[in-house]
Copies of this chain bind each other. A is one copy, B any other.
Amino acid sequence: MASPEAGRKKKMVDTDVVVIGAGISGLCAAKLLHESGLDVRVLEARDRVGGRTFTARDPSYGYVDLGGAYVGPGQDKILRLVKEFDLKLYKMDEEGKTVSYMKGVQRAVTNPNDPSALSNNPLDLLDLNSCFQKLDAFAKQLPPDAPWNAPRAAEWDSMTVKEFMDKECWTSLARKMMGLLTEIFSGSQPEEISFLFYLTSLNSAQGIDTAMSGAQEMKFVGGSMQVSEKIAELLGNRVVLSSPVMRIEQQEAVATVTTHTGQQYRAKYVISAVPPCLLHGILFEPSLPALKMQMIQRMPMGSMIKTVTYYETAFWKEEGFSGTALSDKGPVNGCMDDTKPDGSHPAIVGFISSTHARELCEMSPEQRKQAVCKHYAEIFQCPEFLHPVNYVELDWSAETFSGGYGANLGPGVLTSYGRELRKPFCQVYFAGTETAVKWSGYMDGAVEAGERAARQVLHAMGKISEDQIWQEEPPSIDFPLTPTEADPLGKILPSIPQLLYFLLAFVVLLVVLAAVLLGVYLS
């Protein structure tokens, strides 16, 4: 992208479909079109494929996923690709005590589902249970493909997640946990996010249990970027790297796409598979419609620095810890073991999210490394964490060609602009995990969105019928989703206000009883 090049005239390339972005979504779109016999070009801004999946490789640690890494049962589309490309997955090693570090107190439990990991106060646990039950019940009320049509959509979209917490969480533990989970999953604070968007994400991730455990169950041997690399291999020189798109001109069913390198592509259709906020970096002629333009202004990306800290040995395992910890204290809100499945390169992966990411992003990597190690030493109460042998990190908020970690919508956005998400603009169709219905924000959602956009194009070309655009994915045979057994107790345990009403009723009953007894005694 050197300046002198920009001026050099290059030969126009003619193709059927230009796909913008060689992340999983764009590549899946291109793969499907290619397999349908169309000519495609995938234009990628970076000098690598993979987008928000990025597997760094170095002799010192082998490989490491610094972007999207986890998959789990129920994510049948990405699991189909795993099988197709003969990639290997491994289950996370969660053996050992899980740590929670709240208000400066460390609790460690062997069973990660043991509620005493969080508190010994039954009121805390009742409250947390009732909040989660409510979230799950609300999320299930949303039509997955049109949450803005839910009966209570207007109400839920006019409040922030923090407002839900203010109203529904009675104990500081429930507030802390909801806040923490919001920060870790979105990279934003509860007050930044619409409650309707929060519920939509939960629903898209198949409910609270699946989102919190199942979705983090497995990783790729060799890294998640291999999915993109395998597709790119298939497509060969149809994938063009280091080519950020700067302009899309549409005229009489022909779209001309110009890159910052000065190369131009003439196509019948375009599929944009970049995060919505990056669409602002492309000059559309004619302009994007008003609603689409306003929508992309309202989908900021969460703040997240993913860190991986390597140690000589997995000493935490010897001390009985799994490596998994949650902490209400920064900078790392959540961490897990990231040792390779063969036991090599012992490591802890830690997520610096939301305000912590914003506070630490101007530090040097060395300063961040020290802050992270100090944090581990404190929450595990184990000074050996102060002596890492290696440290790698990626601040996703600093990535121009991703814009951040994942899009978060503030209050009012889904009800005002949600309908625009997947709406095409003349010859341009929109993919990217943010436009997925199921597993939006995950790799699986990227596959769904890319293939759906490709089928929209195939339909526009008259090659498939409209009802073939959306296709149900057969469940994975290798990794079936076992329905989470709803904790029967969870459903019937009272919430704090219910408990208070019960106690009040009990006291009233006692008083009445006492009065009656007194009456009997006196008479």
Contact = CB atoms under 8 A, between A and B. Distances in A.
Nearest to A251: B3
Q: Is the interface of A mostly helix, strand, loop or mixed?
A: mixed
Contact of A290 (B246, B289, B398): B398
A6 B163 contact: no
Interface string A250-280: 0000001010101010000000000001101
A293 B403 contact: yes
A397 B294 contact: yes
Interface string A293-311: 1100111110100000000
A256 B411 CA distance: 39
Nearest to A190: B158
B400 A288 contact: yes
Interface string A139-181: 0000000000000000001111011000000000000000000
A267 to B, nearest CB: 14
Contacts of A284: 400
21 contacts: A3-B249, A3-B256, A3-B264, A7-B9, A7-B10, A159-B162, A189-B412, A246-B246, A246-B247, A246-B260, A277-B297, A281-B282, A281-B283, A287-B400, A288-B400, A290-B397, A291-B358, A294-B300, A294-B358, A294-B404, A410-B411
A285 B45 CA distance: 13
Contacts of A400: 283-284, 287-288, 293
A294 B301 contact: yes
Given A246-B283, A277-B297, A291 B411 contact: no
A361 interface: yes
A299 B262 CA distance: 30
Given A160-B160, A262-B6, A361 B191 contact: no
A412 B192 contact: yes
A395 B294 CA distance: 12
Interface in A1-44: 1, 3, 6-10
Contacts of A86: none
A406 interface: no
A72 interface: no
A301 B299 CA distance: 12
A280 B278 contact: yes
Contact of A398 (B157, B280, B293, B403): B293
Interface string A481-521: 00000000000000000000000000000000000000000
Please provide the 5 A-B residue pairs with the shortest distance between their CB atoms, ordered closest to farther: A7-B9, A280-B280, A297-B300, A290-B398, A410-B410
A398 B289 contact: yes
Contact of A397 (B258, B262, B293, B403): B293
Contacts of A264: 3, 6-7
A262 B9 CA distance: 11
Contacts of A191: 157-159, 411-412
A362 B291 contact: yes
A416 interface: yes
A297 B402 CA distance: 12
Nearest to A187: B294
A290 B256 CA distance: 31
